[in-house]
Amino acid sequence: MERSSYTMTIRDQLILGGNKPVLFSGPCAVESLDICLEIGSKVKKYAQNHGFEYVFKASFDKANRTSGNSFRGIGFDQSLKVLEEVGKQLEVPLLTDVHESYQVESVASVVDVIQIPAFLCRQTDLLLAAGNSGKAIKIKRGQFMAPEDMQFAVDKIRSTGNQNVCLTERGFALGYHNLVVDMRALPIMRQFAPVVFDVTHSVQQPGANQGSSGGLRQMAPYLARAAGAAGIDGFFIETHPEPSKALSDGPNMVPLSQMEAFLGMIREAWEIGDRYKEFSLL
């Protein structure tokens, strides 16, 4: 099974699928400027220490919460202002999600990478609007999608003339409140585009906490090491200084105090995958 030659350019000299792994990391949601700066500044330093390129991540709107009473965000305009300020102060590229086609233009004026949530990976109008923005597009594989079918989501982006697209693995649904990662999905999807492994959502338990999602963060190191050794181009990790107080997805986050050690561990696993990327039984 051959890996594609595709890469995704995020900024000049920052390329997913190149010779360095890319880390997409930050809090689940934009909670405040202070918390975003605290997390982003530390993770940027940790990423540099362990040879990762770094992209700051935070969602401006959590539109797919289990309960309608859950925290969604601090507001569209305010969240984009926070993201823009983080990018300026920390001098880092930015990633956030979009949920509706009309959001793309405003979001694209601020961020470098537009993320398509897993539940929306088949939404043609959204994918085309994202592709037409000219930004790098990161598509999460839906929990209901076969990995080989993600080629068609990639094709929708490329039909706009935008070649900067990647795929993200975050597990598939198996029964209630459980996700399972099939490591075969990584090389399958890597035939079509660069692949990122979503460490923290792969250990999420959707809806398991009586109206909010649970998670098994203790499983994150095992899946992250396995994915790195299997051969991928980047990692997606949500983190927070106090996950128990995070306003979204706390149970599956990596505590900020453990992020540097975590990155050192997965960098070693990534090096194994990179070393044997040409090995094949075909």
CB-based burial label for 77 (10 Å; 0-12, 13-18, 19+):
exposed
Please report which confidence band the pLDDT of residue 193 belongs to, taking 50, 70 and 90 as the band edges: very high
In tens, the pLDDT along 29-39 reads 999 999 999 99
* Res. 176: pLDDT tops 90: no
- The architecture of the domain spanning 8-270 is Alpha-Beta Barrel (3.20)
Please report which confidence band the pLDDT of residue 67 belongs to, taking 50, 70 and 90 as the band edges: low
CA nearest to 85, candidates 19, 126, 40, 49: 40
* Res. 66: pLDDT tops 60: no
* Res. 246: pLDDT tops 60: yes
259, 239 Cβ separation under 8 angstroms: yes
- Adjacent-strand bridge partners of 56: 25, 94
- Adjacent-strand bridge partners of 271: none
* Res. 65: pLDDT tops 70: no
* Res. 1: pLDDT tops 90: no
111, 95 Cβ separation under 8 angstroms: yes
Q: 229 CB contacts (<8 Å, ≥6 apart)?
A: 269, 270, 272, 273
Instruction: State what percent of residues in the chain have pLDDT above 90.
Output: 79
pLDDT at site 71: 65
Mean pLDDT, residues 275-280: 91
Domain boundaries, the chain: 8-270
CA gap 161, 220 in Å, rounded: 36
Determine how β-strand 195-198 pairs with β-strand 234-240. Answer: parallel
The pTM of the full predicted model, rounded to 2 decimals, is 0.94
194, 157 Cβ separation under 8 angstroms: no
Which amino acid, residue 270?
A: W
